[in-house]
Amino acid sequence: MELASLEAKESALFPTYARHPLTFVRGEGSRLWDDRGNVYLDFMSGLAVCNLGHVPLQVKRSVEEQLGRLWHVSNLFQSPQQEALAKLLADHSCTDLAFFCNSGAEANEAAIKLARRYAQRVQGKERYEIVTFEKSFHGRTLATLTATGQDKVKDGFYPLPEGFAYARYNDIESVEARINERTVAVMLELVQGESGVHPADPVFVRELALLCQERELLLIVDEVQTGMGRTGKLFAYEHYGIEPDIVTLAKGLASGLPVGAMLGKRKLREAFTPGSHASTFGGSPLAMAAGIATLRTMLDERLPERAAAAGRYALRRLAAELQHAPPVKAVRGLGLLLGIELDRPVEPFIRELQRKGLLVLPGGPYVIRFMPNLYVTHDEIDQAVERLADALFHASDK
């Protein structure tokens, strides 16, 4: 469709997104092509979803094979595909059990429900409150936007569900002050991605894990963005030497097919009974085929290690090339979840970089998020850094 005709006619979509005037028609690895034949280097990976790059071959083959056999039967029947992905996830994480849904918000909803039911049906305690953090992001459903520690996602949606308290990130005393007899869990991201790429402090995370143990609170780690190799480990909690009770996943789990997963320790098994939670589409054979192929590829090709090395290289190059660029305040991150903090809004730079053929994402108003796929080469990183430097050094001309 021509851009002009799109703009002339009012869109039939609700205007929930500030969409860029670009239409992509094809993707392969780190590259995307628009409808005018221009090629772009993709350093946003569809919001940390396409961790294997665009249209990864092994995943494509598995999905095509499943597509020819069976699409959907519902969760009233056995699912060998769900069993297989659940087993793979259990074998490669500190958790034992999985519940499959369709998105990150749904995975976090499942975690919130499981934590409450564990307290109320297994422990017999009237507990329901979950401590989350300022600047966190956990999704857009009513419960998960309430869990989110940012006002912008709540505007106009009151009244919100009860049962959330907000602590300051990387501040253990602030967490202690929010805990009371109703508290059941603490939920956090180990790198706050959406609000600007803020990694958790390792000392804070270890103290938090100990505190949860002492007070018998569940530790829920939202790995919707940080999971699936993004930070240079399969799961970000591995960097911190902790074992969460619940881990939530979505974005990178199935390379672009909609999947969410809530993973939990065996002790939580009895909290959910038949009928206590469900999803019509959750864990469909197609989504599971994509998830299994994605995870197998990651493990077979040791992609988290590759991401760690590429992330170290990218961080070094970004620091070296951008440290004297006038708008740059800081460069930080973990693995291939990197952020470049500016002293001014990033939106004009995001658009300028698009014109230079580089796709990057904001993280809050002042941070450029840099999230290439896990196969990214040094050469692609160099090209991206060069385009960034070009945009940021000429910032004062604008």
Ligand X SMILES: *Cc1c(COP(=O)(O)O)cnc(C)c1O
Smallest separation (angstroms) from ligand X to the CB of 226: 7
Token pair recorded at residue 360: 């990057």
Return the number of the residue (254 or 298) whose C-beta is nearest ligand X. Answer: 254
The answer to whether 2 is annotated as binding is no
The answer to whether 224 is annotated as binding is yes
Smallest separation (angstroms) from ligand X to the CB of 151: 17
Q: Which residue, judged by CB position, is nearest to ligand X in the bound state?
A: 104
Smallest separation (angstroms) from ligand X to the CB of 386: 28
Return the number of the residue (30 or 144) whose C-beta is nearest ligand X. Answer: 144
Assign 3-class secondary structure to 179-203.
Answer: CCCCEEEEEECCEECCCCCEECCHH
User: Do the beta carbons of residue 221 and residue 236 sit within 8 Å?
Assistant: yes
Q: Return the ∠ at Cα 91 (arms to 86 and 92), rounded to 5°.
A: 100
Report the chain's terminal Cα–Cα distance, integer Å: 32
Return the number of the residue (108 or 297) whose C-beta is nearest ligand X. Answer: 108
Q: What is the chain's percent helix, strand, coil content, to nearest 5?
A: 40, 20, 40
The answer to whether 283 is annotated as binding is no
Return the number of the residue (111 or 391) whose C-beta is nearest ligand X. Answer: 111
d(CA 195, CA 181): 30
d(CA 19, CA 129): 36
Smallest separation (angstroms) from ligand X to the CB of 138: 5
The answer to whether 27 is annotated as binding is no
Smallest separation (angstroms) from ligand X to the CB of 114: 16
Helix 378-393 × helix 347-355 angle, to 10°: 120
User: Do the beta carbons of residue 55 and residue 24 sit within 8 Å?
Assistant: no
The answer to whether 223 is annotated as binding is yes
Smallest separation (angstroms) from ligand X to the CB of 108: 6
User: Do the beta carbons of residue 281 and residue 74 sit within 8 Å?
Assistant: no
Return the number of the residue (255 or 389) whose C-beta is nearest ligand X. Answer: 255
Smallest separation (angstroms) from ligand X to the CB of 232: 17
Q: Return the ∠ at Cα 24 (arms to 195 and 13), rounded to 5°.
A: 70
Q: Give the number of other CB atoms < 10 A from CB of residue 89.
A: 25
Instruction: Note the Cα 249 to chain centre separation in Å.
Output: 7
Give the Å distances, CA to CA, from 61 to 56, 64, 252, 307.
9, 5, 18, 24
The answer to whether 105 is annotated as binding is yes
Return the number of the residue (111 or 322) whose C-beta is nearest ligand X. Answer: 111
Query: Using CB under 6 A as the criterion, which residues of the chain lie in contact with ligand X when the complex forms?
Result: 103-105, 108, 137-139, 189, 193-194, 222, 224-225, 250-251
Phi, psi for residue 217 in degrees, rounded to 5: -110, 145
Return the number of the residue (221 or 325) whose C-beta is nearest ligand X. Answer: 221
**Annotated binding site for N(2)-acetyl-L-ornithine, which residues?**
140, 279
**Annotated binding site for pyridoxal 5'-phosphate, which residues?**
104-105, 137, 222-225, 280
**Annotated binding site, which residues?**
104-105, 137, 140, 222-225, 279-280
